[in-house]
Amino acid sequence: MPTESQSDDFSPVKRTEISESELACAKREYRLLRRLVILALWVGCAVALSLNFTDPDLWGHVTYGQEVIRDGHLHRTATHTFTAEGYPWVNHENIAELTYATIYTWFDDEGLQIFKCLVGLAILGAMAWAAHRQGVRPLTMAAFLLLLANNLTAFFPVRPQVLSFAWCTTLLLTLELAFTGWRAWLVDEPASDESSITPWTPRRLGWLALLPVIMVLWTNSHGAFVAGICITGAYLAGRIVEAIYYQRTKSLGIVAAMVVAGLLVLAATFVNPYGTGLHEWLLLSLGSPRPEITEWAAPKPSDPVFWPLMTLIAVAIASIAFTRQRRDWVQIAILLLVGWQACSHLRHIAFFTLLCGFWVPVHLQSMLLRAKPDTSKLPVTRLGTWSRWGIATALLVAIGLQANTLGNRLERLPVYRHKYPVDAFQWMTFKDLHGRLVVPFNWAQYAIAALSPETTVSFDGRFRTCYPQEVVDKNFDFLLGDNKGYRYRRPEAGPIDPTAVLELGNPDLVLIDRQYNQPIEVMRLESEKPNPAWTLIYQDGLAQLWGRSSIYNDPQSDQYVAPEERLITDTLHVTAFDWPALPVQPTAKVLADRESSQTPNENLQ
């Protein structure tokens, strides 16, 4: 008969009497099926983390990293722009950009996809390891990891944030190692028999020496290191309060060690190429709202991330409410604060997910065991042959299908022609059109990779790291207008002027995303003026390209584009090319014939 500990598992067997040998076989079969379920859940996690969505800033991240490697130094002022020449560039993503540039150079876009998926699995693996040390069972943890992975999906394209999540995980793992068994030591309680945790001693605080190293790497990888400072500060402050409350003067040495660790974490953020300049920029940037950026908006029911987040919040609340494990008030307080931020800003959902991955599983396991009925006195039997093979086959098929999806996602990073101006950039290259380009900020870094150095942009996704607020204001005035009130502009900016960007820096070309009504209307009105300053020279179902009339509509100009050479259609292609989908340079024959050709994209295949 199964023991009480064995009965905690949900055995898929019929309730009839069997012999001891059959019982042993039933247990082996159950272990095999359980391992297949765990494997299926882990492969499902990999699929969730492998979403091959092309981030609009990826072109820039790889390009900037390649340029640093090529030139041998960081660029201190804005590059590839005509509106912010000489303006300081505080790039807080140097390690991420160098990493992605190196991976792409050696392994192409497939390498980028595999890298970010491996980082995601390593993050989940760290959570699973920490949970195992606390006695959480693999099946429970694997199921919870699938929920966590689905909460991370939207935040896991190839972008610097992936390294932020990796450093945050390393930080949480370090805190886990430094304070494992802490509560039992504080109140002189024995450690739980279900845990493999050794008793806490002050020597464990030696793990805190890793925190400044982690923070140096994080500071130079992505600006979310600020979240790491807040989490670390709150965590250490909570532990200090506990130590003083329970141990009084006996804790002075331990408190001093934690204070020193916290100060070193702060000091580590100054180890960057800009010194205090990074912090000055952060204070200025974080002090200004960013309502134009969707990641700073609150999640809505229509967002793909909304229901996974709500599910995770419900699981976390239920687990902590109904657990039989001792609750850690420091962890709960931080979870509440970060959870509040996750409900206020989309970009903080990932950090709430990471915290849940380390601090909720032990309570989830306790809640499930508390809710499970006692089956220890019920007789069991082996599954029938067809049942065993049927379940095993179904699991193997599920694993195979997921593995196939995973393989398809990892082998390519598509750039869809109905989302990015692949055709417009190819036509510009075909016609040798270059110059100062006004372009939507979510296409601008693609434009930099595709058309530089001959073409520079008015504004791009680097945002305030290298653009003054005046440039930000004028570009968003053109793209968004008042955006239904969801705008931040300088107090002295004056009324919204959607045409101001058309004169800022004297641009030559204007590329428009036709999904935005504001710039379409602005350019229509401009074209209806007597002697219009702008002429439509290219259009497809996604984009419009306008050229300054004095350059592209004047027969006396050497860059004149005659009406019969212009390509004006409403065609919208839904196919995709592999990233980076850069324009193909025309061959000598194409160059000779390009004046009459209207099919510039046929060579992009």
Mapping DSSP onto H, E and C, the string for 109-155 reads HHHHHHHHHHHHHHHHHHHHHHHHHCCCCHHHHHHHHHHHHHHHHHH
- Joined together, the tokens standing for residue 1 give 């008969």
Contact 502, 464 (CB under 8 A): no
Q: What is the pLDDT of residues 390-413, one digit of tens each?
A: 888 999 999 999 999 999 999 999
In this prediction, residue 592 carries a pLDDT of 53
Average pLDDT, the chain: 89
In this prediction, residue 605 carries a pLDDT of 36
Q: Which residues contact 389 (CB under 8 A, 6 or more apart)?
A: none
**E strand or H helix at 361, and its extent?**
helix 361-371
For the cut 90, the answer to whether the pLDDT of residue 601 exceeds it is no
**E strand or H helix at 368, and its extent?**
helix 361-371
- Tally of helices (H runs) and strands (E runs) in the chain: 21, 8
Instruction: Give dist(CA 163, CA 356) in Å, integer.
Output: 18
Sheet with 456-457, strands from edge to edge, namely 456-457, 436-438, 509-513, 543-548, 534-539, 567-568
In this prediction, residue 485 carries a pLDDT of 80
In which band, very low, low, confident or very high, does the pLDDT at 593 lie, cut at 50, 70 and 90?
low
Strand 414-416 vs strand 576-578: parallel, antiparallel, or unpaired? antiparallel
In this prediction, residue 5 carries a pLDDT of 40
Instruction: Give dist(CA 232, CA 244) in Å, integer.
Output: 18
Q: What is the pLDDT of residues 386-396, one digit of tens each?
A: 777 888 899 99
Q: What is the pLDDT of residues 286-339, one digit of tens each?
A: 777 777 777 878 899 999 999 999 999 999 999 999 999 999 999 999 999 999
- Joined together, the tokens standing for residue 315 give 């699981």
In this prediction, residue 148 carries a pLDDT of 98
For the cut 90, the answer to whether the pLDDT of residue 185 exceeds it is no
In angstroms, the Cα distances linking 486 to 288, 297, 342, 476, 489 are 13, 10, 19, 11, 10
In this prediction, residue 101 carries a pLDDT of 97
Q: What is the pLDDT of residues 359-376, one digit of tens each?
A: 999 999 999 998 877 666
Can you say whether residue 508 is alpha, beta or left, with left for phi > 0 and alpha for psi between -120 and 50 degrees? alpha
Residue 584 buriedness (CB in 10 A; 0-12 / 13-18 / 19+)? middle
Q: What is the pLDDT of residues 495-552, one digit of tens each?
A: 999 999 999 999 999 999 999 999 999 999 999 999 999 999 999 999 999 999 999 9
- The pTM score is 0.90
In this prediction, residue 27 carries a pLDDT of 74
Instruction: Give dist(CA 91, CA 74) in Å, integer.
Output: 9
Can you say whether residue 371 is alpha, beta or left, with left for phi > 0 and alpha for psi between -120 and 50 degrees? alpha
Instruction: Give dist(CA 214, CA 399) in Å, integer.
Output: 36
Determine the residue type at 282. L
**E strand or H helix at 215, and its extent?**
helix 210-219
The DSSP code for 537 is E
Instruction: Give dist(CA 545, CA 568) in Å, integer.
Output: 10
Give residue for tokens 């200004």.
Answer: 288
In this prediction, residue 378 carries a pLDDT of 58
In this prediction, residue 598 carries a pLDDT of 44
Instruction: Give dist(CA 487, CA 297) in Å, integer.
Output: 12
The pLDDT of 54-59, averaged and rounded, is 96
Q: Which residues contact 189 (CB under 8 A, 6 or more apart)?
A: 183
Long-range contacts from 438-441, C-beta under 8 angstroms, 24+ separation: 438/475, 438/478, 438/501, 438/502, 438/507, 438/509, 438/510, 438/511, 439/510, 439/511, 440/479, 440/511, 440/512, 440/513, 440/516, 441/475, 441/479
The pLDDT of 565-583, averaged and rounded, is 95
The DSSP code for 88 is B
- Joined together, the tokens standing for residue 415 give 């750039």
In this prediction, residue 604 carries a pLDDT of 42
Q: What does the buried/exposed string (b/e) look like for 164-183 if buried means 16 or more CB atoms within 10 Å of the residue's CB?
A: bbbbbbbbbbbbbebbbbbb
Contact 200, 184 (CB under 8 A): yes
For the cut 70, the answer to whether the pLDDT of residue 13 exceeds it is no
User: Which parts of 372-490 fold into alpha helices (H)?
Assistant: 385-410, 422-430, 441-451, 469-480
**E strand or H helix at 436, and its extent?**
strand 436-438
Strand 436-438 vs strand 509-513: parallel, antiparallel, or unpaired? parallel
The pLDDT of 438-448, averaged and rounded, is 96
The DSSP code for 530 is S
Q: Which residues contact 117 (CB under 8 A, 6 or more apart)?
A: 46, 49, 50, 406, 410
For the cut 50, the answer to whether the pLDDT of residue 2 exceeds it is no
- Residue 266, number of CB atoms within 10 A of its CB: 13
Portion of the chain with pLDDT greater than 70, in percent: 89
In this prediction, residue 539 carries a pLDDT of 97
- Joined together, the tokens standing for residue 519 give 């710039």
